[in-house]
Amino acid sequence: MIQRIPFTRLTDRQWAALQPFLARAAPQGRPLSDPRHRMDGMFHLLSTDAPWRAMPAEYGPGATIARHFRRLTEAGLWERLLQALADLGPRHPLQQLRRLIFRAARRAYRMRGMGIIVLARRLGFLGALPGPAWMLPDPDLSKRLVALQMRHRENFGRFVLRWGRPLRNLMGMVGGRAHIPRYLRLCMP
């Protein structure tokens, strides 16, 4: 298991800053025995490229931590944390968890879909994208291109002759790549 990000357990300040977000995303059911320990385990694994089954035994079964991650993701925790990172000052304790939150957002993309990509792009958090920005879909770009076409609808023939091929290429880029190679995904910080 290769550490991609140096990992330390959550400090009291970081935990206090994280708790309000977790309270809103708390899954229903039995209360957790130690939610801080579970978040430590989650962040420990997020600091690596390892799968959930490689969870160190001190944090409990990897399947349990993965299920908790999935529930927090479905509750929208990572989107709220991305928004909070954009709104909070640079000295806020959550900013110290920035890279781990970005890595969690990248893992959450498979469950949350385009919404998390759009949010990360709009906030300027390219590190939270699950691959290089130029290989991922960009819905905002498609809206701008359609608006550009609408502005030139009276001269549409000349517009298409001049800008047809570049616009077609841009529209192809808007959808992103169908497959991003693993080596490119792994080179993300």
136 or 123, which is more confident: 123
Residue 142 confidence (pLDDT) above 70: no
**Arithmetic mean of pLDDT over the chain:** 81
Q: How far is CA 109 from the centre of its chain?
A: 6
Q: How far apart are CA 21 and CA 101, in angstroms?
A: 12
| Alpha-carbon distance values, 22 to 38, 73, 185 (Å) | 12, 11, 28
Residue 29 main-chain phi, psi, to 5 deg:
120, -155
Mean pLDDT, residues 149-177 taken together: 66
Q: How confident is the model at residue 159 (pLDDT cuts 50, 70, 90)?
A: low
- pLDDT, residue 80, reads 94
- pLDDT, residue 11, reads 93
- pLDDT, residue 137, reads 75
Torsion of CA 146, 151, 157, 162, to 10 degrees: -80
- pLDDT, residue 4, reads 75
The b/e string for 4-15 (b: 16+ C-beta within 10 A; e otherwise) is beeeeebeeebb
Whole-prediction pTM: 0.78
Q: How confident is the model at residue 24 (pLDDT cuts 50, 70, 90)?
A: confident
Residue 66 confidence (pLDDT) above 70: yes
Residue 92 confidence (pLDDT) above 90: yes
| C-beta separation of 36 from 15 below 8 A | yes
